[in-house]
């Protein structure tokens, strides 16, 4: 089928079916090339430690290809990284100059209140992403650099920004606002934005599909538990609350982030410990959470230590679960009716002990986990609740790249 679309060049038909997804971090670029005819992955890879002497590119070609390839050596910046990626893709006959490439989809972390949907990149859009740098100082500059690099490589191609915050822009004002002075909040754009939105959108929809229900008629609590972690309450396909806030620090206990704390902890530390704002930033974002509590942020290691009777690991696990339960309870109350609780991301998809503990004792809420089903390891979405449970408990692997590709492709093909 041939459809028309608006590109930087104007209106032209889109018959191409490939989408390149770029997730640019401050010193890394993750990429995937997908074919939207069957949503298959043609290539997957990662460039890390950009700007260092020991940059590394790991490229996995399409199935049946020559296998994973790796190169190390200095890669100066995002521009050089994307050129190296383009060379790897070209070696597999998947060059970025191919007419098969329809669009480049970019993960952009912060879209503020303005970007509620995937957006075709224009200079105006770039300026707005730039204006949001003060609320996402680590992420948005890297995303901007990724987009600029891709534009330089293929100026003729549409670039689409898919925002981590977009799915959460449906939160009602009473969920999005902090109870602080309105003028101060508005002057500095302080409100709850939420993150991991692409994952929450994808997983809530896939959960409805797993239940055989329409997303518009399904209420889901999504628990995205990775190294970063967030929960969301999704009513009829729309987010009504989420646990991350102005930044990804709020909410659940994470690998290295504290999640919710009394904000007075910050000025207390300034006054009594003489710590600077930057030092507290590092403490709460990098040295807290599971790593701060027990020295490890990998749930595999934490559960292994617990098995050996390690009390520090046990306490960290209990704190993690206690916070998770609070959010399940809170979002249950907000939704009123819950059809499913869905676990996703590294911990949510793999750590059966976390899933079991998180719903333990919640039978009165209709929540239970079947030990046998919970122990099964699989890549497919699956139910782990017993047949009698009123609320489904599901494991639904997230796929943010596929969601970005789907949204970007839909935008350019109409």
Nearest CB to ligand AMP, comparing residues 260 and 301: 301
Q: What is the Cα–Cα distance from 235 to 291, expressed in whole angstroms?
A: 33
164 given a catalytic annotation: yes
How does DSSP assign 107-122, residue by residue? EES--TTT--S-EE--
Residue nearest to ligand AMP (CB): 346
Residue with tokens 């008629």: 217
Torsion sign over Cα 111, 115, 119, 123: negative
From 255, 292, 381, 397, residue interacting with ligand AMP (rule: CB under 6 A)? 255
Site residues for ligand AMP, 1-60, by CB under 6 A, read none
From 338, 345, 389, 394, residue interacting with ligand AMP (rule: CB under 6 A)? 345
From 347, 384, 411, 412, residue interacting with ligand AMP (rule: CB under 6 A)? 347
Q: Is 309 helix (H, G, I), strand (E, B) or coil?
A: coil
Nearest CB to ligand AMP, comparing residues 268 and 300: 300
Site residues for ligand AMP, 189-208, by CB under 6 A, read none
Q: Give the shortest CB-253-to-ligand AMP separation in angstroms.
A: 12
How does DSSP assign 387-401, residue by residue? TT-SSEEEE----HH
Q: What is the Cα–Cα distance from 83 to 139, expressed in whole angstroms?
A: 21
x/- letters, 262..301, toward ligand AMP (CB under 6 A)? -----------------------------------xxxx-
Nearest CB to ligand AMP, comparing residues 12 and 300: 300
Q: Give the shortest CB-71-to-ligand AMP separation in angstroms.
A: 23
Choose the catalytic residue: 77, 164, 298, 370. Answer: 164
Q: What is the Cα–Cα distance from 307 to 69, expressed in whole angstroms?
A: 37
Could you tell me the CA-to-CA distances from 365 to 33, 223, 386 in Å, in that order? Answer: 42, 17, 14
Any contact of residue 350 with ligand AMP (CB under 6 A)?
A: yes
Count of residues of this chain found to bind ligand AMP when the rule CB under 6 A is applied: 12
Contacts of the segment 388-393: beta carbons below 8 A, 24+ positions apart:
390/366, 391/338, 391/339, 391/340, 391/341, 391/365, 391/366, 391/367, 392/207, 392/210, 392/211, 392/339, 392/340, 392/341, 393/340, 393/341, 393/342, 393/343, 393/355, 393/359, 393/367, 393/368, 393/369
Give the DSSP H or E segment for 374: helix 371-375
Q: What is the Cα–Cα distance from 246 to 92, expressed in whole angstroms?
A: 42
Q: Give the shortest CB-37-to-ligand AMP separation in angstroms.
A: 28
Any contact of residue 256 with ligand AMP (CB under 6 A)?
A: no
Nearest CB to ligand AMP, comparing residues 192 and 224: 224
Q: Give the shortest CB-312-to-ligand AMP separation in angstroms.
A: 16
Any contact of residue 304 with ligand AMP (CB under 6 A)?
A: no
Q: Which one of 147-155, 201-209, 230-238, 347-355 is the stretch in contact with ligand AMP (CB under 6 A)? A: 347-355
Which DSSP symbol is given to 139?
Answer: T
Residue with tokens 């009504």: 240
Q: Give the shortest CB-352-to-ligand AMP separation in angstroms.
A: 8
Nearest CB to ligand AMP, comparing residues 299 and 362: 299
Q: Give the shortest CB-371-to-ligand AMP separation in angstroms.
A: 17
Residue with tokens 């929809």: 205
Nearest CB to ligand AMP, comparing residues 287 and 300: 300
Any contact of residue 227 with ligand AMP (CB under 6 A)?
A: yes
Any contact of residue 346 with ligand AMP (CB under 6 A)?
A: yes
Which DSSP symbol is given to 382?
Answer: E
Q: What is the Cα–Cα distance from 35 to 101, expressed in whole angstroms?
A: 9
Q: Give the shortest CB-345-to-ligand AMP separation in angstroms.
A: 4
Q: What is the Cα–Cα distance from 119 to 127, expressed in whole angstroms?
A: 13
Given the rule CB under 6 A, which residues bind ligand AMP?
A: 226-227, 255, 297-300, 345-347, 350-351
Active-site positions read: 164
């Amino acid at each position: 089928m041939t459809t028309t679309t608006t590109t930087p060049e104007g209106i032209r038909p889109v018959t191409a079916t490939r989408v390149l997804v770029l997730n640019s971090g401050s010193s890394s670029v993750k990429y995937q090339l997908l074919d939207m005819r069957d949503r298959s992955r043609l290539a997957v890879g990662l460039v890390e430690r950009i700007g260092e002497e020991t940059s590394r590119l790991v490229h996995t070609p399409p199935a049946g290809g020559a296998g994973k390839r790796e190169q190390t050596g200095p890669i100066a910046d995002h521009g050089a990284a994307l050129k190296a990626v383009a060379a790897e893709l070209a070696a597999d006959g998947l060059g970025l100059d191919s007419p098969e490439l329809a669009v480049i989809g970019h993960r952009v972390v912060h879209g503020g209140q303005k970007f509620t949907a995937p957006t075709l990149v224009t200079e105006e859009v770039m300026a707005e992403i730039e204006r949001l740098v003060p609320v996402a100082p680590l992420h948005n500059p890297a995303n901007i650099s990724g987009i600029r690099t891709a534009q330089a490589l293929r100026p003729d191609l549409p670039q689409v920004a898919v925002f981590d915050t977009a799915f959460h822009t449906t939160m009602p004002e009473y969920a999005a606002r902090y109870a602080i002075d309105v003028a101060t909040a508005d002057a500095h754009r302080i409100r709850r934005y939420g993150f991991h939105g692409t994952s929450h959108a994808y997983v809530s929809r896939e959960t409805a599909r797993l239940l055989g229900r329409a997303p518009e008629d399904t209420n889901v609590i999504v628990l995205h538990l990775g190294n970063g972690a967030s929960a969301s309450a999704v009513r009829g396909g729309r987010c009504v609350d989420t646990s991350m806030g102005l930044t990804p620090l709020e909410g659940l206990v994470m690998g290295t982030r504290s999640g919710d704390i009394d904000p007075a902890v910050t000025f207390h530390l300034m006054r009594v410990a003489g710590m600077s704002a930057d030092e507290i930033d590092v403490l709460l974002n990098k040295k807290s959470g599971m790593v701060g509590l027990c020295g490890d942020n990998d749930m595999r290691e934490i559960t292994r230590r617990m098995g050996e009777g390690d009390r520090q690991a046990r306490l960290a696990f209990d704190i993690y679960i206690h916070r998770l339960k609070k959010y399940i309870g809170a979002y249950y109350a907000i939704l009123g009716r819950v059809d499913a609780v869905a676990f996703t991301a590294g911990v949510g998809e793999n750590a059966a002990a976390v899933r079991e503990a998180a719903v333990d004792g919640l039978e009165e809420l209709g929540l239970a986990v079947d030990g046998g089903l919970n122990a099964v390891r699989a890549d497919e979405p699956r139910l782990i609740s017993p047949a009698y449970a009123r609320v489904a408990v599901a494991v639904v692997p997230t796929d943010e790249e596929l969601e970005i590709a789907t949204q970007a492709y839909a935008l350019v093909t109409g």
